[in-house]
Amino acid sequence: MAYFKSNGIGIGGISCAVPANEVTVDSFIPVFGEETPAKFSAGTGIKAMYKALPEQTASDLAYAAAENLLTHFSVDRSKIGLMVFVTQSPDYRRPSTACVLQHRLGLSTDCAAIEIALGCSGFIYGLQTAMSMMESSDAEYGLLLLGETASKLVDPLDKSIVMMYGDAGAAILLERCAEAKSTTLLRSDGSRYRAIVLPAGGFRDMYPPRDRFVCADGIERSLYDIYMDGTSVFSFTITDVPQTLQEYLMHTGTTPEDYDAVLLHQANQFMLKQIARKLKLPKEKTPLSLDRYGNTGGISIPLTLCDAYGKAESKRLHTLMCGFGIGLSWGVTNAVIDTDKVLPIIQTDEWYREGKITPEMLK
């Protein structure tokens, strides 16, 4: 099993940002009628989400979260030696958006900047990657950024997911902390990569026809739209995920009672209830944010933290965190987080105007 250990690296701050554009599930009534949105909310628990403005990208949301974080905690940016950006919604095919963010945030050229293309498991994978790199370096601080604008990749008439995806960004400050310890379990199963897929636009098939066709679930799409096999994803979520959590608890010699909060990827309320039931997790230990923010992919775990504890009284939280989804990939980790390091969620309508490349810029 792929267990990873991290020692001496702790979480020094968490900030999240969403677009200043709230969209309610009820707003889809003119498109789908009253019955479909009502059934969707009842089944998923989602009532609203925030969707990026036309010019807004995942990096804009991550940037807003990072600026809020670094400014609030008065971090010396010259001491940030590492920045990891997790996204499947990059600004460009090339170069890496991580390098653009390094520049925008005013980080030193001595700061390593890398990008990870993962979705719903991205926070767990990104956190372990950043901690491992920082642990083997002399950097005083590290920065884990996440951003996603999956709503831009969904067919507007796809009733199965157009009301599901919310957009968001997150920033996590990592710092040296002698007593900090974490254990992470990471898994992947590429044999199920078609369970959630957007076929067009990559180098396998850059410009396929835009013809629409009826998929196995009876919904019409093109190859340029996200497709999700709901049955396969549901089976994975209620089978592989709780099994992995149980194996993790056995490996670490812990029980749900040892944690103050269990943060699960905010995929679907019914799925989360099934996981909680199998692990006998009390409701008060499994906070939800998807009812107001939708499924925000890899950002959903830090977003839920900021939503639940961004205005809470100061206390130390022993957390268990699990992300799972597209890939398929999933992971579990633990961390101690001080609630006074968790900031309330902010909204932004800003976007990076210099980042929109025009022909004049290239002449």
Q: Which bin fits 148, alpha (ψ -120 to 50), beta or left (φ > 0)?
A: beta
The structure tokens listed for 8 are: 């001496």
295 is catalytic: yes
Q: Is 108 in contact with 69 (CB distance < 8 Å)? A: no
Q: Give me the catalytic one of 120, 268, 322, 334.
A: 120
**No. of H helices and E strands in the chain?**
9, 15
Q: Give me the catalytic one of 16, 68, 111, 265.
A: 265
**Residue 313 confidence (pLDDT):** 86
> Per-residue DSSP letters for 176-229?
EEEEEEEEEEEEE-GGGGGGEE--TTSTTSSS-----EE-TTS-EE-TTS-EE-
* Fold match between domain 3-180 and domain 186-202+210-341: yes
d(CA 272, CA 264): 7
* Helix H or strand E segment including 85: strand 80-86
Residue ranges per domain, the chain? 3-180, 186-202+210-341
Q: Is the peptide bond before 328 cis (omega within 30 degrees of 0)?
A: yes
Torsion over CA: 274, 280, 283, 284 (sign): negative
**Residue 336 confidence (pLDDT):** 97
List C-alpha distances in Å: 162 to 117, 159, 237, 248.
22, 6, 20, 34
**Residue 1 confidence (pLDDT):** 65
Query: Which of the following CATH numbers is that of domain 3-180: 3.40.50.300, 3.40.50.1370, 3.40.630.30, 3.40.47.10?
Result: 3.40.47.10
How many other CB atoms sit within 10 Å of the CB of residue 359? 6
103 is catalytic: no
**Residue 2 confidence (pLDDT):** 81
Q: Give me the catalytic one of 68, 268, 295, 334.
A: 295
318 is catalytic: no
**Residue 324 confidence (pLDDT):** 97
Query: Which of the following CATH numbers is that of domain 186-202+210-341: 3.40.47.10, 3.20.20.80, 3.40.50.80, 3.20.20.210?
Result: 3.40.47.10
The structure tokens listed for 192 are: 């199920």
pLDDT per residue, tens digit, the chain (363 aa), is: 689 999 999 999 999 999 999 999 999 999 999 999 999 999 999 999 999 999 999 999 999 999 999 999 999 999 999 999 999 999 999 999 999 999 999 999 999 999 999 999 999 999 999 999 999 999 999 999 999 999 999 999 999 999 999 999 999 999 999 999 999 999 999 999 999 999 999 999 999 999 999 998 899 999 999 999 989 999 999 999 999 999 999 999 999 999 999 999 999 999 999 999 999 999 999 999 999 999 999 999 999 999 999 988 889 999 999 999 999 999 999 999 999 999 999 999 999 999 999 999 999
